[in-house]
Amino acid sequence: MFKNTRLSALLAAVLFSVSAATALVSAPAFAQDQASAPAASAPAAAADAAAPAAEAPAPAAAKTTTEEAENPFGFQAVWNGGVVSRGTLIILSLMSMGSWYIIITKLLDQMKIFKQSKETAAKFWKAPSIAAGSAALKDGSPFRFIAETGTKATQHHDGALLEQIDLSTWVTMQIQRSVDKVQSRLQDGLSFLATVGSTAPFIGLFGTVWGIYNALTNIGMTGNASIDKVAGPVGEALIMTAFGLFVAVPAVLGYNWLVRRNKSAMEDIRSFSADVHSVLVSGVMSTANAAASAKKVG
C-alpha cells in the first residue's frame, strides 16, 4: 500500500538523536589557577621593611589566570559509571532513535495520503469506470488499493461457501477489510511512541536513583562528604533524569500529533470508500436484477 523511503527517515532519526544528546552535555568548566596568590600574601608582616621593592611584583602575582578545562561530570563520566548506568543510556538512546524514526516515517505516510487524496478527487471521479479511475492513481496509493479491492470483489465470488453470501454483502465486507488494513498500517508504531512516553521518565529515574545510591555508598565508605565529592556523582545521576525526559516528551507530543493527523486521513479514506461502495453496490444490484429478469424471460 505505502511506498516510502525508510532509510532516509532512519538516518534523520539517528542524526537528530545524536545531536540532541550531545547538547545535554554540561558546558565546559572554568578552573582558576590561583596557586601563586597564597604564596605572595603569606609574608604579610615581613613586607613592611622592604616597601617599594617588595610591593611592586604583588599585583602581577595576585593576577588569576582563567583557562578552559574539560567538564569531568558529563556523559563520559556517566558512561564510565558502571554497567547499570551504561545500560540505561543505551536503552534511552534506542528509545529516542526509535521514536524519531516512527515520527518521521508516519509523517511521510500522512503527507502522501493527503497528497493522494487531492489527486484522487481530481482524477478518479472523472474516469468512466472504477477500473479506469484506479488505473489513473499511483501505485501504492491506499485509495487505489481500496478501489481495486472492491472491483476484484465484484469479479471473484467463487466457492461453495462464498456463494452463500450475496454479492452485495461480499463487496461491502471486502471494502471494509481494505479500509481496516489501511487504518492498521497508519497506526503501526504509535503503540511504541505511547510506551516510550510512559516508560522513559521512569527509566531515567532509575538511573538517577542508582547514581545517588552509588554516591552515598562512596561517601559512607570514605567518610568524605565535601561538595566536590557529592556534586559530581549527584550531577551524573541527574543527567539520567534529564535524558529520560528528553526521550519521553517528543514521544508523547509526536503520538498525540500523529493520532490527530491519522483521524483526518482516515476521514478522507472512509469517505472515498463509502462512495466507491455505493457505486459498486449499485452496479452489482443492477447486474443482479438484469440477470433475474433474463431468467424470468427464459
Residue 209 pLDDT class (50, 70, 90 cuts): confident
pTM above 0.85, yes or no: no
Please give the Cα distance from 11 to 28 (Å, whole number). Answer: 29
Whether pLDDT at 129 is above 80: yes
Cell 483526518: give the residue: 264
**Three-state DSSP class for residue 57:** coil
* Segment 118-137 mean pLDDT: 87
Q: What's the pLDDT tens digit per position in 60-81?
A: 444 455 544 455 555 565 666 6
- Between 57 and 175, name the one with better pLDDT: 175
DSSP secondary structure code for residue 50 in this structure: S
* 88: its cell numbers: 540505561
- Residue-wise pLDDT for 255-293, tens only, equals 999 999 999 999 999 999 999 988 888 765 454 444 444
Q: How large a percentage of the chain has pLDDT more than 90?
A: 30
Grid cell for residue 195: 510506551
pLDDT digits (tens, 9 = 90+) for 218-248: 777 777 666 766 666 677 778 888 889 999 9
Question: Confidence band (pLDDT; 50, 70, 90) for 211?
Answer: confident
- What pairs with residue 110 in β-bridges? none
Q: Kindly provide the b/e burial profile for residues 116-148, where b requires at least 16 CB atoms within 10 angstroms of the residue's own CB.
A: bbebbeebbeeeeebeebbebbeeebbbbbbbb
